[in-house]
Chain A
Amino acid sequence: MTALASPLAAPVPCGPEIRHERGQRAVFCGLTGIVWLHRKIQDAFFLVVGSRTCAHLIQSAAGVMIFAEPRFATAIIEERDLAGLADAHEELDRVVRRLLERRPDIRLLFLVGSCPSEVIKLDLGRAAARLSGTFAPDVRVLSYSGSGIETTFTQGEDACLAALVPDLPRGNDDSLLVVGALADVVEDQFARLFADLGIDRVRFLPGRRAADRAPVGPNTRYLLAQPFLADTARALEDRGATRIPAPFPLGAEGTTLWLAAAARAFGIAPSRVVAATEAGRARAGRALQAHRAALAGRRVFFFPDSQLEVPLARFLSREMGAELIEVGTPYLHRSHLAEDLALLPDGTAVTEGQSLDDQLDRCRAARPDLTVCGLGLANPLEAEDLATKWSIELLFTPIQGYEQAGDLAGLFTRPLARRARLEG
């Protein structure tokens, strides 16, 4: 503000500038979530009801995992299934029976809807209820949609967890439920931290096995570990649970604020939070220090992918000193991300949705130092001499919590370091 500025001038801009964009979108559909969800729930099987395209997508996304007798498959809809619906249900029953005969170790079967099954209005909810009746008590059958017309990438996990919620038992305990699939190692670290804080009734959703079902009731407080869980949160609130607002546990600051929010909700003294997190914060600080020089002042551009973009941008700008050109996200949940948005630098351009070619024009014009994008764009942008970080790795790598903060920063510094080596 200069002395000449009128007191009636427009207010100083505050917070990020959020824009919406519509057009061609280069994103995965929700079926992709199966790739990590089937590793997380060890006795669940995911049966996609879809087309050859769906089978081909999962095969392409799962890469080499397809050969490890994974617990997912596709029931490919054929022409005769399109001819009449009654027949499609019989076909589905036949396929499920054959599948469960082959895999008697399965305790939980998800029927996963796809674009074709949604468009022909195949009622997978009804099929799941019917099949649950047939195979109870050995196997529970649930359904959700991972179709591209309804879900983007990580929203597939949201739909899956939301389908699990009605299936959870009732409980009236004062308990904490941590929601979102985390790497087992991260989950274990968080469990230890909550114990150190004195929060002893902590459960995770999803559980590692179908039988791990956290009780939920009016005294349940839940803490989101992932930013893409809108429907799951709504389902939990329908059961009476309350959300603990917090930024997401990425980086040292994010993890501390996330833990502190839970501690506050459970009436734990701030001094105890400081004591319980001291060692972790110090280790994370040391690990991040090594990467800060490489990222400080670097201009970063995010293409939309997973909804992790806003908390990642917050981590890069506040903890690593990076500059944010544009933060694209496929969907922005204003209230779940309120704490992260508030920590972004004023005026940060946040774009919800996508018009691919227009966004590519903006990216090329800005020539960022690092572009976070999907594998369809990464090599083409590298060929234009723009350094990229492929975004899917942020889902397949443990990145949350103190012990992973350095690894998280490393994911962003590695492409820059590599370029420096190859140009040296």
Chain B
Amino acid sequence: MQLTLWTYEGPPHIGAMRVATAMRGLHYVLHAPQGDTYADLLFTMIERHGARPPVTYTTFQARDLGSDTAEIFKQAVAAAYERFRPQAMIVGASCTAELLQDDPGGLSRALGLPIPVIPLELPAYQKKENWGASETFYRLVRTLAGPRTDAPRIQASCNILGPTSLGFRHRDDLREVRGLLGELGIAVNVVAPLGATPADLGRLGQAAFNVVLYPEVARSAAQWLERTHGQPFVETAPIGVKGTTAFVEAVAALAGVDSAPVLDGEGSRLPWYARSVDSTYLTGKRVFVFGDATHAVAAARVATREIGFSLVGLGTYSREFAREVRAEAESHGIEALVTDDYLAVEAAIAAAQPELVLGTQMERHVAKRLGIPCAVISAPMHVQDVPARHAPQMGFEGANVLFDTFVHPLMMGLEEHLLAMFRDDPEFHDGVAPSHLGGRPREAEAEAEVVVAAASTVTPVVWSIEAERELKKVPFFVRGKARHNTERYARERALPLITVETLYDAKAHFSR
């Protein structure tokens, strides 16, 4: 058993729901106990869907267990078909029904419905949400895309694979990517799962190649299409200016078109914003990145190569993509954190002493507790991460959004300098929180220290009263780092007491 308070991913059948809800003309019959319908409100509330997800739950109860849950399941499939008349259905079990050993696939086959009914095997006690989405999409494509034909491919055309419901900014990313492909003169054959029908999946083979926007969802389907239909695929995430440029070059090469219409165009404002002098203070700011693999890797690249931050932490909860994240971390000279335990993430953040955290909802709260600026770059998300405005992460507009997203939580450079100059300014002192912390008086530092203490098992170091007082004069947003560095310096030299001199010796030592 695993003691869990917060989970980055839901169970795998939630991933299946994300695919089913993204599509049209598909219905999902889920063998599940009463109560599992809570999942509907992820879609109706977080994404504000104006329709119920296309999911029928059997909602069996204890009194049904003695009798025939299999019969209830069959009735649910038949009733869902009668009522909704979908082009295809997917059927499967949630964690509890998995223990019952009813066979959704066999039971559905016995009904002999005139549509494809695709059984899903989603092992709820081993796998999680993104895996479930990937497996569901793979099964759908495998069943519906049909065998390879000799029919000619549509010239310079591609499918876009991966956008789902409850995907982080998928709606707006798709608009950006469609725009880029349009400017290149590449036709979009099918977008899936988002907005696609089962019939559309039958047309996947007509495209020349595939664009995988979110490997967590679409890599396995794209690999199958490559094997079966001979379609190559592009997996470069068009996130950031460099990522978008690499993406445009890759798809242009596959489509046999000229990339100039896009690459010679307006591009993004990010490069100029990052070069302009008021961004100088961003240089080398320590950033910690955590999220799903695609977004974490992309954010780390944008943060370091395009904005000039230093990466002090990189991690993911996506175990399936640990290899990619480890390789990326290595290229930055750090070790990746692969975990789905938020306490481990919290300890790593506390130990790394970053000045900015880019993460999920959970890291937002951890950062709030530690008093560190933060921006959200990856699912799991809250309702505020599904904004009314156009807010992509991908493409050149996405790069603009990322610049704003990463920089807004930080204080303006000038404000930062003034703080260092006038440390006891009545309006600009420790008691005033950065705006993203709601402007309330800060109590975070004391808690942050507790967390640091809990995270480190090393012996505490004694501070003299004068040194403590001097430390208080260091601006609060770098004070944690100053404390950490000074203690490390003292420990390495086995100093019995930290004095004002120690503080400044350490400052000199570390300001390399």
A94-129 residues with Cβ-Cβ distance < 8 A to B are: 94-95, 98-99, 115-116, 118-120
Q: Is the CB of A55 within 8 A of B4?
A: yes
The docked-state distance in angstroms from the alpha carbon of A148 to that of B35 is: 5
Known: A24-B59, A149-B61, A150-B61. Is A81-B4 also a contact (CB below 8 A)?
no
CB distance from B38 to the nearest CB of A (A): 5
Q: Is the CB of B65 within 8 A of A51?
A: no
Contacts of B51 in A (CB 8 A): 380, 383
The docked-state distance in angstroms from the alpha carbon of A67 to that of B124 is: 25
CB distance from A214 to the nearest CB of B (A): 30
Q: Is the CB of A73 within 8 A of B5?
A: yes
Q: Contact partner of A118 among B36, B45, B62, CB < 8 A?
A: B62
Contacts of A66 in B (CB 8 A): 5-6
B42 at the interface (CB under 8 A from A): yes
Q: Is the CB of A115 within 8 A of B50?
A: no
B58 at the interface (CB under 8 A from A): yes
Known: A53-B10, A53-B95, A76-B1. Is A149-B60 also a contact (CB below 8 A)?
yes
Contacts of B121 in A (CB 8 A): none
A229 at the interface (CB under 8 A from B): no
B388 at the interface (CB under 8 A from A): no
Q: Contact partner of B35 among A29, A78, A382, CB < 8 A?
A: A29
Q: Is the CB of A25 within 8 A of B5?
A: no
Contacts of A79 in B (CB 8 A): 123, 125-126
A111-155 residues with Cβ-Cβ distance < 8 A to B are: 115-116, 118-120, 147-150, 152
Q: Contact partner of B52 among A30, A119, A377, CB < 8 A?
A: A377
Contacts of B65 in A (CB 8 A): 119, 149
Write out, one digit per residue, whether chain A residues 396-407 have a CB within 8 A of any chain B CB (1) or not (0): 000000000000
Q: Contact partner of A26 among B4, B40, B64, CB < 8 A?
A: B40
Contacts of B62 in A (CB 8 A): 118, 147, 149-150
B372 at the interface (CB under 8 A from A): no
Closest to A152 in B: B34
The docked-state distance in angstroms from the alpha carbon of A199 to that of B365 is: 47
Q: Is the CB of A379 within 8 A of B50?
A: yes
Please indicate which of the listed interface residues A52, A67, A149, A382 has the most CB atoms of chain B within 10 Å of its own CB. A52
Q: Contact partner of B41 among A72, A357, A376, CB < 8 A?
A: A376
Contacts of A60 in B (CB 8 A): 38-39, 41-42
A268 at the interface (CB under 8 A from B): no
B409 at the interface (CB under 8 A from A): no
Q: Is the CB of A27 within 8 A of B35?
A: yes
B19-76 residues with Cβ-Cβ distance < 8 A to A are: 33-42, 44-45, 48-52, 56-62, 64-65, 76
The docked-state distance in angstroms from the alpha carbon of A99 to that of B2 is: 11
Q: Is the CB of B38 within 8 A of A49?
A: no
Contacts of B40 in A (CB 8 A): 26, 375-377
Q: Is the CB of B1 within 8 A of A148?
A: no
Query: Secondary structure at chain A's binding surface: helix, strand, loop or mixed?
Result: helix
Q: Contact partner of A148 among B36, B100, B362, CB < 8 A?
A: B36
B136 at the interface (CB under 8 A from A): no
B398 at the interface (CB under 8 A from A): no
Q: Contact partner of B11 among A52, A72, A149, CB < 8 A?
A: A52
A82 at the interface (CB under 8 A from B): yes
Known: A25-B59, A51-B96, A376-B52. Is A78-B1 also a contact (CB below 8 A)?
yes
Q: Is the CB of A76 within 8 A of B2?
A: yes
Give the contact-size bracket for chain B.
35 or more
Q: Is the CB of A53 within 8 A of B3?
A: no
Q: Is the CB of B3 within 8 A of A95?
A: yes
A395 at the interface (CB under 8 A from B): no
A182 at the interface (CB under 8 A from B): no
Please indicate which of the listed interface residues B9, B44, B126 has the most CB atoms of chain A within 10 Å of its own CB. B44
A343 at the interface (CB under 8 A from B): no
Q: Contact partner of A147 among B33, B50, B124, CB < 8 A?
A: B33
Known: A77-B1, A148-B35, A379-B44. Is A55-B83 also a contact (CB below 8 A)?
no
Q: Is the CB of A379 within 8 A of B48?
A: yes
Q: Is the CB of B38 within 8 A of A61?
A: yes
Q: Is the CB of B1 within 8 A of A25?
A: no
The docked-state distance in angstroms from the alpha carbon of A52 to that of B5 is: 10
Q: Is the CB of A24 within 8 A of B125?
A: no
The docked-state distance in angstroms from the alpha carbon of A30 to that of B10 is: 19
The docked-state distance in angstroms from the alpha carbon of A3 to that of B5 is: 70
Contacts of B44 in A (CB 8 A): 375-380
The docked-state distance in angstroms from the alpha carbon of A199 to that of B41 is: 44
The docked-state distance in angstroms from the alpha carbon of A59 to that of B362 is: 11
Please indicate which of the listed interface residues B7, B39, B42, B50 has the most CB atoms of chain A within 10 Å of its own CB. B7
Q: Is the CB of A115 within 8 A of B7?
A: no
Closest to B47 in A: A379
Q: Is the CB of A27 within 8 A of B83?
A: no
Contacts of A394 in B (CB 8 A): none
Q: Is the CB of B125 within 8 A of A51?
A: yes
The docked-state distance in angstroms from the alpha carbon of A79 to that of B38 is: 24
Contacts of A81 in B (CB 8 A): 1
The docked-state distance in angstroms from the alpha carbon of A318 to that of B51 is: 34
B448 at the interface (CB under 8 A from A): no
B14 at the interface (CB under 8 A from A): yes
Write out, one digit per residue, whether chain B residues 302-337 have a CB within 8 A of any chain A CB (1) or not (0): 000000000000000000000000000000000000
Q: Could you jot down 20 A-B contacts, CB within 8 Å?
A: A26-B59, A32-B38, A52-B9, A53-B96, A55-B5, A56-B14, A66-B5, A66-B6, A70-B5, A74-B3, A81-B1, A148-B61, A149-B61, A150-B62, A375-B45, A377-B52, A378-B44, A379-B44, A379-B50, A380-B52
Q: A-B pairs with the 9 shortest C-beta distances?
A: A29-B35, A148-B35, A383-B50, A376-B40, A115-B96, A51-B95, A67-B365, A375-B41, A56-B10
* Residues of A bordering B, CB below 8 Å: 24-32, 49, 51-53, 55-57, 59-61, 66-67, 70, 72-79, 81-82, 88, 91-92, 94-95, 98-99, 115-116, 118-120, 147-150, 152, 357, 374-380, 382-383
* Residues of B bordering A, CB below 8 Å: 1-7, 9-11, 13-14, 33-42, 44-45, 48-52, 56-62, 64-65, 76, 79, 83, 94-96, 99-100, 123-126, 128, 362, 365, 368
